[in-house]
Amino acid sequence: MTATINASTSAGVVTTADTSGILQLQSNGTTALTVSGSTVQATTTIGVGGATPSASGSGITFPATQVASSDANTLDDYEEGTWTPNQGSGLTVVGAFSSSGRYTKVGRVVYVAGRLAGATSIATTAGTIMFTNLPFTIADVTATGVIVNGSLNTFGGLAAFTTTAYSTTTIAANVVIDFSFTYSV
């Protein structure tokens, strides 16, 4: 038998006790939270800060606007989205230019991935601007894990305090340039 606290609109709060060491919180007979020893399990989405829990499934929902904590060890910011890289002056594009990107931001770390394309071809020259319009302003110019067209490349080409990325090596003409890297904000 499990100890249960049931908040029901018709019966108020009903408690039942047992010796199992398990506590359940219920609303209208549906279990929302179970506490067993040092384990707490929610059966639905949990809202953090002022966030309204998502109705789309289980998980942790963060507020749309970060509610910053004074404790550096508190995860108070998570975001996923898409962004559009703007054509950099260092790209040689033949045909129409197109681009797309996606990002995940966890605290101060941003992972971005994207694609730059020319209808016929696209290329870069070393030391030139590949694209602008990163989703967040860069605080730390160290980027890691860059992959361009399937090859691991050294990528130190972020401009501090801007949203601009540079090509550190020449990329020969391709139809697309795929990239991904992580940076700090």
Q: What share of the chain in percent tops pLDDT 70? A: 63
Q: Please give the residue range of the domain that contains residue 33.
A: 3-70
Average of per-residue pLDDT across 93-97:
96
Name the residue among 41, 48, 104 with its Cα closest to residue 76: 48
Query: Do 122 and 93 contact (CB within 8 A), yes or no?
Result: yes
Across the chain, mean pLDDT equals: 76
Work out the pLDDT band at 167, boundaries 50, 70, 90. Answer: confident
Task: Return the exposure string of 135-170: e unless at least 16 CB atoms fall within 10 Å of the residue's CB, then b.
Answer: bbebeeeebeebebeeeeeebebbeeeebbbbbbee
Place of tokens 């967040």: 136
11 and 36, same domain (yes or no): yes
63 and 121, same domain (yes or no): no
How many domains does one find in the chain?
2
* pLDDT for 117: 94
Residue 59 CA to its chain's centroid (Å): 14
The DSSP string of 118-161 is EEEEEEE-TTSEEEE--SS--SEEEEE--EETTEE-----B-TT
For 34, other C-beta atoms within 10 Å of its C-beta total 17
Asked whether residue 124 is domain-assigned, the answer is yes
- Which one of 37, 70, 103 terminates a domain? 70
Asked whether residue 88 is domain-assigned, the answer is yes
- Which one of 23, 49, 70 terminates a domain? 70
109 and 168, same domain (yes or no): yes
Q: Is the pLDDT of residue 82 over 90?
A: yes
Q: Which residue has the higher pLDDT, 2 or 172?
A: 172
Average of per-residue pLDDT across 36-40:
72
Average of per-residue pLDDT across 83-105:
95
Angle at 155 between CA 151 and CA 157, to 5 degrees: 140
Q: Which residue has the higher pLDDT, 137 or 146?
A: 137
Query: Do 185 and 138 contact (CB within 8 A), yes or no?
Result: yes
Average of per-residue pLDDT across 79-92:
94
In residues, how long is the chain? 185
| pLDDT tens figures, 141-165 | 666 556 566 555 545 456 656 788 8
117 and 158, same domain (yes or no): yes
93 and 65, same domain (yes or no): no
118 and 166, same domain (yes or no): yes
Dihedral Cα 79, 84, 89, 95, nearest 10 deg: 150
